[in-house]
Amino acid sequence: MNSKTPSAADRIREKKKLFLNREQKIIDAALALFLSDGIDRVTVSSIAVKAGIGKGTVYKHFLTKNEILVRIMLDYEESITRTLAAGIAKAEAGESGAAAKAYFDSRLQRPELDRLVQHLEVRLIDSEDVAPQLEQLHLMRRSNEDSLNSMITRLIDRGVLEDVPPHYHYLACWALAQGAVELCFSRSWNYRLDSEELMKFITGVGVTIGNRGQYRDPSKVKSSGSKSDSGKS
Amino acid sequence: MNSKTPSAADRIREKKKLFLNREQKIIDAALALFLSDGIDRVTVSSIAVKAGIGKGTVYKHFLTKNEILVRIMLDYEESITRTLAAGIAKAEAGESGAAAKAYFDSRLQRPELDRLVQHLEVRLIDSEDVAPQLEQLHLMRRSNEDSLNSMITRLIDRGVLEDVPPHYHYLACWALAQGAVELCFSRSWNYRLDSEELMKFITGVGVTIGNRGQYRDPSKVKSSGSKSDSGKS
Amino acid sequence: MNSKTPSAADRIREKKKLFLNREQKIIDAALALFLSDGIDRVTVSSIAVKAGIGKGTVYKHFLTKNEILVRIMLDYEESITRTLAAGIAKAEAGESGAAAKAYFDSRLQRPELDRLVQHLEVRLIDSEDVAPQLEQLHLMRRSNEDSLNSMITRLIDRGVLEDVPPHYHYLACWALAQGAVELCFSRSWNYRLDSEELMKFITGVGVTIGNRGQYRDPSKVKSSGSKSDSGKS
Amino acid sequence: MNSKTPSAADRIREKKKLFLNREQKIIDAALALFLSDGIDRVTVSSIAVKAGIGKGTVYKHFLTKNEILVRIMLDYEESITRTLAAGIAKAEAGESGAAAKAYFDSRLQRPELDRLVQHLEVRLIDSEDVAPQLEQLHLMRRSNEDSLNSMITRLIDRGVLEDVPPHYHYLACWALAQGAVELCFSRSWNYRLDSEELMKFITGVGVTIGNRGQYRDPSKVKSSGSKSDSGKS
DNA sequence: TATGAATGAGGCTTCATTCAT
DNA sequence: AATGAATGAAGCCTCATTCAT
């Protein structure tokens, strides 16, 4: 009998799942439209159409349009955080450049998305309706920052990195990554064909930013004296 | 007598000057509003109010709102071009890092303006009106690019820079500068007080990007002796 | 039970009906305003007020203001087409003047509307939006034209009408009807009281336009003798 | 001495002439633009440019834009009046159809201008600023009307025309001419190549409108015995 | 006197949000 | 709960007219 007439609790659970599914649908639709049409041209109506639901329903999930945007930002930041955490773990385990590498890779993996999020942030800053969510975003970032700080401090102590304030290192990295993302979309440059190689070059720069006393082309590093893992061999 | 009764030509010249003054007033007003209120919140009406003129007058100077935006972009790009040209000249004269230095300095001199221009570009791309002006913008950039290419090629030949395609060098620089600008405004970072020092650090990174086989903290560079750690190992 | 709890389909149908009602309301409001205030003085806003709805609602039914205008034209042309078709049928059945009569009657029945439509057409021609709808309008007219051509050709063959190209007949009719409509509104003429009789007179002219023996090339008229009843003398 | 230093009166006369020339220039420019671009798209500014003068100067000649339009109408009506007067004179001299012929010819000579004037009238009616000029226009027309009335009355007395109220005759003519003009511009008709022949046909209809024995009250048409004037000849 | 820069009312259209069904 | 029709504030742009030079 249970299998035939699902309990009230079952039905509620079912409904919740459907509800959450729909929420994801909305986000996906919004994201797809933002990427394909540009932020300006996406309306709540078009999101609803793309998601295959009614416009009113969107407002059952998000109080305002801005909440959709901020949600996309949060989702993205979470994924960055996860990747970065893994990178930091690796770095702590000895691979000194791993954190920077992971960071670059995650941001450059979907540069169009990274860039979208940057632009969304510009839109939303000073929007009172999503101020709390933006605060949450900042908290996540600061938490990441703390982890980076600790890690970098240790690398400085071990003599791997230049002895400048720790945030110099990761902010320089952040800046380069930021710029690299924009680079993918700038229409002004002549050379854009070999962007993969170019990104490797830039990542190389990023990974070694602030390395003590040296820069090495990462593609040529095989054995070496400076890497921390040299001790392992 | 001439001084008492100005000729018709004189009066026309006078009028033109007034007209151009007003044009500058509009641009200044628009710029101020963009920087203080955000691109979204600036209307033609608010620009007119800020400039102290009527709404219709704006349209005597600019055919569309977009033309004001693109004009701001062009003005800025011109100033960048001038600074860069001076830097390139210096670099040709022997100071190998001068071009990169000049470039960073000019972009970081008014980072809020640099950033505004970036965001304006995102807005305007795909706007059919102002397409010609955007093309002009790209032409300016490509011209700069050509100059950089020549210069970098020479530096590579002289063994100063890594032997990678020349544009790797300046695009990495561009990216870092781009990111550095954004960094000035990101609200997520804890440390922003000593941004001047930070920018010096980043500029240092930029200036030595791709230097052959080495990175040197610019503040510590005195004598050379590259690849210093090779001896240590 | 069905009657108590209408199905979803029922409700949707109900809604659609309401929606279409509202559409008609907009058209009626627009029409009333055009007739009373003149095309120039009617704004979308005033239409909305007259229809008792919000300005934005108008745009749920019509993409542009022009689409309201073109819709009025199409509605009118359809009614003309119906009347004309009936007239042509009668004419085929033997009443030779019936088509012209029907045409005149239908255009003169609401001359103010007929005239409005003429003026709307002048406004809309060259409007790129609504170009498709105007094409549709022309198609309707050409279809009417074909019917008239066939009919007139037969009347010519039967010797009822002068043997000139068929379109001479109906274009002359069209012109006279067109002018008669304008006549109703010209404010320059003294006599407008007995316009009904006058319209009968004109309709009479229209009905006999091109009747055989009626028309003489003015350049060839010298003595008479060509009249149809000349055989009697 | 007179020839060398023109008197004040001479100079004033000279100026007046220049002033009137300019007025004509404005009218010509406006007319050309109306015909080429459509009434809607002509601005005072464009008129000034076309006339080769400043916008402000236009307002030295005409108090409002509407006064330019009404002036075009008056000029046209005057030319019609002249032609018609000549036609009436001929008709009085015995050529019974001459007036109608003259009228048709003058209106169909520049159908685009005739039509423009019609549309201008629709625009201006109810415009308070040019009400006096419009009244003047109506006076001209009524004067023409009186002449026509006299003439037609005589033709009726002579048995040339049907004995219906005189204005039936000329209003029918007016209507047909009006329609013929529109016909020249309607885009819906297939056959427009041989418009000259067509216009002759229509003019023929117009010239014989209401000729005795031509018109039959359609409601009374059964058999007929026409050709009343044959006996007289 | 001729000019054209300045003006601002007013038109069309968009779209986030609400709410009755 | 889901819907989408309705709303109206707000934005961009036009152009007849004015007026200081």
The confidence band for B75, taking pLDDT boundaries of 50, 70 and 90, is: very high
Looking across all nucleic acid strands, the nucleotide with the smallest C1' to CA distance from residue B42 is F11
Chain C contact set for D141 (CB, 8 A): 188-189
For residue C224, give every residue at least 6 positions away whose Cβ sits within 8 Å of its Cβ, in sequence order, or none.
C230, D227, D229, D230, D233
Say if A225 falls within a structural domain.
no
Is residue A74 domain-shared with residue A179, that is, in the same domain?
Answer: yes
Residue C222's pLDDT band, with cuts at 50, 70 and 90, is very low
Q: How far apart are CA C161 and CA A48, in angstroms?
A: 63
C114 with C106: CB under 8 angstroms?
A: no
Buried-state track C142-173, b at ≥16 Cβ within 10 A, e below 16 = eebbebbbebbeebbeeeebbebbbbbbbbbb
Q: Confirm if D169 and D161 have CB atoms less than 8 A apart.
A: yes
**What end-to-end distance do the CA atoms of chain A give, in Å?**
66
Which nucleotide comes closest to D55 if you measure CA to C1'? Answer: E4
Quick one: C74 and C166 in the same domain?
Answer: yes
Can you give the pLDDT at residue D213? 53
Residue whose C-alpha is closest to residue A166's, from A186, A149, A191, A180: A149
Q: Which of D137, D183, D209 sits opposite C171 (nearest CB)?
A: D183
- Mean of the pLDDT values across residues C193-201? 75
Report residue A193's pLDDT band, with 50, 70 and 90 as the boundaries: low
Measure the CA–CA gap between B8 and B23, rounded to whole angstroms. Answer: 23
Q: Looking at the C1' of nucleotide E10, which residue has the nearest alpha carbon?
A: C43
Average pLDDT over residues B66-85: 94
Average pLDDT over residues D96-102: 79
CATH classification at residue B44: 1.10.10.60
**Distance in angstroms (rounded) separating the CA atoms of residues C227 and B133:** 74
Average pLDDT over residues C172-189: 81
Please indicate, yes or no, if residue A159 is contained in any of the structural domains: yes
Q: Assess whether pLDDT exceeds 50 at residue C160.
A: yes
Is residue A230 one of the residues assigned to a domain? no
A210: tokens are 């602030």
- 3-class SS letters over chain C: CCCCCCCHHHHHHHHHHHHHHHHHHHHHHHHHHHHHHCHHHCCHHHHHHHHCCCHHHHHHHCCCHHHHHHHHHHHHHHHHHHHHHHHHHHHHCCCCCHHHHHHHHHHHHCHHHHHHHHHHHHHHCCCCCCHHHHHHHHHHHHHHHHHHHHHHHHHHHCCCECCCCHHHHHHHHHHHHHHHHHHCCCCCCCCCCCHHHHHHHHHHHHHHCCECCCCCCCCCCCCCCCCHHHHHC
Best CA proximity match to A150, nearest among A138, A136, A164, A167: A167
Q: Which residue has the higher pLDDT, D191 or C201?
A: C201
Per-residue pLDDT tens over the stretch C56-81: 999 999 999 999 999 999 999 999 99
CATH code of the domain containing A99: 1.10.357.10
DSSP class per residue in A147-163: HHHHHHHHHHHTTSB-S
Q: Which residues of B155-178 are buried (b: 16+ CB within 10 A; e: fewer)?
A: bbeeeebbebbbbbbbbbbbbbbb
D178 pLDDT higher than 90:
no
A108 HSE (CA, 13 A, CB side): 27
CB distance D120 to D57 below 8 Å? no
Average pLDDT along chain D: 81
Which tens digit of pLDDT belongs to each residue from B170-198? 888 888 888 888 888 876 665 555 677 88
Q: Is residue C232 part of a domain?
A: no
Q: How far apart are CA A97 and CA A103, in angstroms?
A: 10
Alpha helices by DSSP H, listed for D158-226, are: 166-183, 195-208
CB-CB under 8 Å, C179 with D123 = no
- Confidence class of residue A36 from pLDDT cuts 50, 70 and 90? very high
A208 CB below 7 A from strand E atoms: no
Nearest in space to A168 (alpha carbons), one of C176, D85, B197, C86: B197
Determine the distance in angstroms separating the CA of D88 from the nearest CA of chain C, rounded to an integer: 17
B65 beta carbon < 7 A from strand F?
yes
Mean pLDDT, range A65-91, rounded to an integer: 92
How many inter-chain contacts (C to D, CB under 8 Å) are there?
A: 172
C98 & C192 share domain: yes
Give B88-120 pLDDT, tens digit per residue.
Answer: 888 777 777 788 888 888 888 898 999 999 999
C57 touches strand F (CB under 7 A): yes
Instruction: Check contact A-C (3+ Cβ pairs < 8 Å).
Output: no
* Residue D145 pLDDT class (50, 70, 90 cuts): confident
D32-82, pLDDT tens digit by residue? Answer: 999 999 999 999 999 999 999 999 999 999 999 999 999 999 999 999 999
Number of domains into which chain D is organized: 2
User: Could you tell me if residue D175 is inside a domain?
Assistant: yes
Q: Which residue has the tokens 């379109």?
A: C167
CA-to-C1' distance for C176 and F19, Å?
51
What whole-number distance in Å separates Cα of residue B200 and Cα of residue D139? 87
Tell me which of A191-200, C52-61, C131-140, D47-56 is least confident. A191-200
Would you state the structure tokens that stand for residue D200, as one six-digit string?
Answer: 């002759």
Q: What percent of chain B has pLDDT over 90?
A: 37
Question: Which residues in chain B have Cβ-Cβ distances shorter than 8 Å to A201?
Answer: 164, 168, 172
Both B77 and B189 in a single domain?
yes
d(CA D146, CA D143) in angstroms, rounded, equals: 5
Task: Indicate the SS3 state at residue A211.
Answer: strand
pLDDT over threshold 80, residue A177: yes
The predicted pLDDT at position C48 comes to 97
Q: How far is CA C170 from CA C161, C173, C175, in A?
A: 11, 5, 8
CB nearest A123 (choices: B40, B178, B209): B40
Nucleotides on strand F lying under 7 Å from protein C-beta: 1-21
Print the SS3 string covering chain B. Answer: CCCCCCCHHHHHHHHHHHHHHHHHHHHHHHHHHHHHHCHHHCCHHHHHHHHCCCHHHHHHHCCCHHHHHHHHHHHHHHHHHHHHHHHHHHHHCCCCCHHHHHHHHHHHHCHHHHHHHHHHHHHHCCCCCCHHHHHHHHHHHHHHHHHHHHHHHHHHHCCCECCCCHHHHHHHHHHHHHHHHHHHHCCCCCCCCCHHHHHHHHHHHHHHCCECCCCCCCCCCCCCCCCHHHHHC
Nucleotide minimizing C1' to CA distance for residue C18: F5
Nucleic strand F within 7 A of Cβ A43: no
Nearest-CA distance D124 → chain C (Å): 10
- Residues from chain D that touch C186, judged by Cβ atoms under 8 A, are 174
- Do A27 and A47 have their domain in common? yes
The CA–CA distances, whole Å, from B55 to B16, B45, B47, B59, B70 equal: 20, 6, 8, 7, 19
- Neighbour tally for B148: CB within 10 Å: 24
Q: Give me the pLDDT at residue C11, please.
A: 72
Q: In angstroms, how far is CA B226 from the centroid of its own chain?
A: 33
Q: Measured between alpha carbons, how far is C83 from C88 in angstroms, rounded to an integer?
A: 9
The answer to whether residues B33 and B90 belong to one domain is no
Predicted local distance difference test score (pLDDT) of residue B188: 64
Q: Would the CB atoms of D216 and C208 count as touching at under 8 Å?
A: yes
Give CA separation, D44 vs A61, B132, C13, C39, D39, in Å.
Answer: 54, 29, 52, 21, 11
C185 and C96 together in one domain: yes
Q: Inspect the interface and report whether the beta carbons of A182 and B177 lie closer than 8 Å.
A: no
Rounded CA separation A124/A138 (Å): 13
Q: Which of residues 22-51 of C touch strand E (CB under 7 A)?
A: 43-45
D90 and D172 both lie in a single domain = yes
The mean pLDDT of chain B is 81
Integer-rounded Cα radius of gyration of chain A? 22
Domain for residue B191, yes or no? yes
A–B interface: beta-carbon pairs under 8 A = 141
pLDDT of residue C59: 96
Task: Tell me, yes or no, whether A55 and A69 share the same domain.
Answer: no
Q: How far apart are CA D95 and CA B70, in angstroms?
A: 72
**Nearest CA to CA, how far is A21 from chain B (Å)?**
31
Which of B34, B205, B222 to mutate to probe the A interface, most A CBs <10 Å?
B205
User: Which pLDDT score is estimated for A194?
Assistant: 63
Split at pLDDT 50, 70, 90, the class of B225 is: very low
Same structural domain for residues D53 and D126?
Answer: no
- SS3 state at D4: coil
Q: Which two tokens stand for residue C16?
A: 């659609």
Average pLDDT over residues B204-215: 67
- Residues D94, D130, single domain; the answer is yes
Residues C176-196: what's their mean pLDDT? 74
Encode C97-113 in three state secondary structure. CHHHHHHHHHHHHCHHH
Judged by DSSP in three states, D53 sits in: coil
Give the list of residues 6+ apart from residue B130 with CB closer than 8 angstroms, or none.
B64, B66, B67, B69, B70, B124
Same domain, residue pair C45 and C73: no
Mutate to test the interface with B, among A176, A187, A199 (most CBs of B within 10 A): A176
pLDDT of residue D224: 34
Written as six digits, the tokens of A5 are: 């007439």
pLDDT band with cut points at 50, 70 and 90 for residue B2: very low
Q: Look at A97 and B68; give whichever has higher pLDDT.
A: B68
Go through chain A and tell me how many residues it has. Answer: 233
Domain span including residue A46: 14-62
Domain assignment present for residue B227? The answer is no
Q: Which of residues 40-69 of B touch strand E (CB under 7 A)?
A: 53-57, 59-61
DSSP state letter for D158: T
Quick check: is D221 in a domain?
no
How many Å apart are A8 CA and F1 C1'?
17
pLDDT over 70 percentage in chain B: 83
**Vertex D198: Cα angle to D195 and D204 (nearest 5):** 145
